[in-house]
Chains A and B, each alone.
Chain A
């Protein structure tokens, strides 16, 4: 078993963090994982993506040709990565910023208005956790509780219970919509 997930969007959307939380949850559940960021001279608003591999044996390539799951947080990343998704794979698409319709019949595309949901929750920056919640459901491999625990570890926000609570809620909302 080896599952590749690509998170893509623009810098500032929390793309790298969402991937890191997934990788950490995978590790905590005993899987082998890799997390590979796109790194470069980027700035806020530039492109950002990361690749997470979750496997039951040591991961070879941290680069994924065709991911089982694509998380596309904006239009350009949807256009760039949707053609690469493996047949029968899933695209978790942020309909708040993606106007295109489903481009492929052989994959499942979930349109979720992540920005609006995050706005509803009172924390626009937690759209990434809405995306991650939906991803975890689509993945069907990791318990949501493990992902929540990993998120709390990753944010390391002791004493910032309000922040953790809104991110937990975002994960739950995303999970319930997938």
Chain B
């Protein structure tokens, strides 16, 4: 049965259905409905909802719950995510599975609460300190928001790497019909023999993000980076739309990705051969499929609600095989389909 839900609510419901039983937050717009939904529904499922005294406290509670072996999540919006970055780096270093939702607003600084995609660098290339990666998934519809949160829990568990959902204010606020996926039964959640869950009858486990001996620490990080290489091989996700005969392909994710779908339809109506390449996993970035596309499509136009962050990954993937122009908006301004179409027409002719 389809239900009409906000993106924020669908992400919360997805987390509950994925077996998240500890959620810690500090409220911030535009993800307030996620917090409200968790407050209302998580306790009914036997979970813990806790509004912490700060973002820093919330992410460290996530660290604690994850170490104890519980599926756990926190959510925030851009400046709040910045505050969580130290804790996220610790999660990555300690190999703890957890899900972090960022409903992006426009920045830097306090910025405003309008939709933007300026946290791409922060999400995919560090953000916190040290040599680590996050699995980063970018939903484009409310349906996908629910599904990708559930996937984020599974991937995070499988690889013991924290996962981030990179959404934005528009996806968080809008409503769309959702067919909610079946809940994951508790027995399907992977066992956690590494968790600090009480050492009665077994040697104690230690969860730690550091080793003072550089040679031993190097081995820990080598193992971590072997895992990242495996994720890059197995977990790349993307969608292509009308790319078969395209002369220009739009590269866009999240909210901008779905707006570009409308752009493709309008362009096609006018006889312009335009397609869409929509990365779903931002890390690992779908470099290989994009490179293949660049061998037959002369122009790949990246469109972002930023000054051009994913654009760097597009150019790295394409390595000069195609033209890679950029169109972006700043400050929370969202271009309409017609505005993007005007930009398309600068690069392609009927």
Contacts and interface: CB of A to CB of B under 8 A. Distances in A.
Interface string B97-115: 0000000000000000110
- Most chain-A Cβ atoms within 10 A of its Cβ — which of B174, B258, B259, B264? B174
A158 to B, nearest CB: 18
Interface in B217-268: 258-265
Contacts, number: 65
B175 interface: yes
B79 to A, nearest CB: 16
Contact of A36 (B141, B170, B260): B170
A62 B258 contact: yes
A5 interface: no
Interface in B85-130: 113-114
A134 B177 CA distance: 24
A61 interface: yes
A20 interface: yes
A39 B263 CA distance: 24
Interface string B1-42: 010100000000000000000000000011000000000000
B258 A61 contact: yes
A63 B169 contact: no
A16 to B, nearest CB: 10
B259 A61 contact: yes
Nearest to B140: A60
A63 B336 contact: yes
B173 interface: yes
A17 to B, nearest CB: 12
A61 B262 contact: yes
Nearest to A84: B336
B330 to A, nearest CB: 17
Contacts of A60: 258-265, 337
B338 interface: yes
Given A61-B336, A63-B334, A39 B169 contact: yes
Interface residues of A, number: 21
Nearest to A19: B175
Nearest to B173: A39
B175 A65 contact: no
Contact of A34 (B175, B260, B261, B334): B175
A27 B336 CA distance: 24
Contacts of A33: 4, 176-177
Given A60-B258, A61-B259, A62-B258, A35 B4 contact: yes
Interface string A13-44: 00000001001100100001111110111000
Nearest to A52: B175
A64 B288 CA distance: 34
Interface residues of B, number: 26
A59 interface: yes
A41 B337 CA distance: 26
Contacts of B113: 39-41
Most buried by B among A20, A39, A41: A39
Interface in A66-111: none
A63 B333 CA distance: 12
Contacts of B4: 20, 23-24, 27, 33, 35
Given A27-B2, A65-B336, A65-B337, A36 B262 contact: no
A36 B337 CA distance: 15
B258 A37 contact: no
A137 B177 CA distance: 23
A135 to B, nearest CB: 18
A15 to B, nearest CB: 14
Contacts of A124: none
A139 B86 CA distance: 52
Nearest to B174: A36
Nearest to B256: A61
Nearest to A27: B177
A130 B4 CA distance: 23
Contacts of B264: 60
A102 B95 CA distance: 64
A143 interface: no
Q: 5 closest Cβ contacts across the A-B interface?
A: A60-B262, A60-B261, A61-B262, A35-B175, A61-B259
Given A34-B176, A39-B29, A58-B261, 4 more contacts: A35-B176, A39-B173, A58-B141, A60-B263
18 contacts: A23-B175, A35-B174, A36-B173, A36-B174, A37-B173, A39-B29, A39-B173, A58-B141, A58-B261, A59-B176, A60-B259, A60-B263, A60-B264, A62-B176, A63-B259, A63-B334, A64-B336, A65-B337
Interface of B: 2, 4, 29-30, 113-114, 141, 169-170, 173-177, 258-265, 334, 336-338
